[in-house]
Chain A
Amino acid sequence: MTFALAFDCGLAVLILAMAIWTIAARTTFPAVVGFVAYGLLLTLVWMRLAAPDVALTEAAIGGGLTGVLLLGATSRLRATEPPAVSERPSVPFRLAVAGLCTLLSAAIAAVVLLLPDPAPTLAPEAAAKLSLTGVGNAVTAVLLAYRALDTLLESAVLLLALVGVWSLAPDRFWGGAPRSLALRHRDGSLSLLGQVLPPIGIVLGVYIVWVGADAPGGKFQGATIIGAMWVLTMMAGLQTPPEISQAWVRVILVAGAAFFLAVGIAGFWLAGAFLAYPTGFAKSLIVAIEVALTLSVAATLGLLVAGPPARPVRT
Chain B
Amino acid sequence: MSLLLDIFTVVAVSLGAVFFLAGAVGLLRFPDTLTRLHALTKADNVGLGLIVLGLLPQTERPLAAVKLIVAWLLVQLASGTVSQLIARTARRTEPPA
Establish whether residues A193 and B77, one from each chain, have CB atoms under 8 Å apart when the complex forms.
yes
B92 to A, closest residue via Cβ? A185
Establish whether residues B85 and A187, one from each chain, have CB atoms under 8 Å apart when the complex forms.
yes
Pair count A-B, CB < 8 A = 22
Contacts of A2 in B (CB 8 A): none
Establish whether residues B88 and A197, one from each chain, have CB atoms under 8 Å apart when the complex forms.
no
The answer to whether residues A193 and B78 also contact, given A187-B84, A187-B85 and a CB cut-off of 8 A, is yes
The listed residue (B74, B80, B92) touching A189 by CB distance below 8 A is B80
**Residue A5 at the chain B interface, CB threshold 8 Å:** no
Q: What secondary structure prevails in chain A residues at the interface with B?
A: helix
**Residue B58 at the chain A interface, CB threshold 8 Å:** no
Contacts of A196 in B (CB 8 A): 77
**Residue B81 at the chain A interface, CB threshold 8 Å:** yes
| Minimum CB–CB distance for B62 against chain A, Å | 18
1/0 contact trace for B74-97 toward A, CB 8 Å? 100110110011001000100000
Residues of B within 8 A of A (CB): 74, 77-78, 80-81, 84-85, 88, 92
Residues of A within 8 A of B (CB): 183, 185, 187, 189-190, 192-193, 196-197, 200
Contacts of A197 in B (CB 8 A): 74, 77-78
Establish whether residues B81 and A193, one from each chain, have CB atoms under 8 Å apart when the complex forms.
yes
Apart from A187-B85, A197-B77: 12 A-B pairs, beta carbons within 8 A = A185-B88, A185-B92, A189-B81, A189-B84, A189-B85, A190-B84, A190-B85, A192-B81, A193-B77, A193-B81, A196-B77, A197-B74
| Minimum CB–CB distance for A206 against chain B, Å | 16
Cα distance A185–B84 in the bound complex, in angstroms: 12
Establish whether residues A187 and B88, one from each chain, have CB atoms under 8 Å apart when the complex forms.
yes
The answer to whether residues A190 and B74 also contact, given A185-B88, A185-B92 and a CB cut-off of 8 A, is no
A/B interface sample: 8 pairs, CB < 8 A: A185-B88, A187-B85, A189-B80, A189-B81, A189-B84, A192-B81, A197-B74, A197-B77
A236 to B, closest residue via Cβ? B81
The answer to whether residues A200 and B74 also contact, given A185-B92, A189-B80 and a CB cut-off of 8 A, is yes
Interface centre among A187, A189, A196 (most CB of B within 10 A): A189
| Minimum CB–CB distance for B25 against chain A, Å | 18
| Minimum CB–CB distance for B45 against chain A, Å | 15
Cα distance A189–B77 in the bound complex, in angstroms: 10
| Minimum CB–CB distance for A71 against chain B, Å | 13
| Minimum CB–CB distance for B28 against chain A, Å | 15
Contacts of A189 in B (CB 8 A): 80-81, 84-85
Contacts of B84 in A (CB 8 A): 187, 189-190
Contacts of A185 in B (CB 8 A): 88, 92
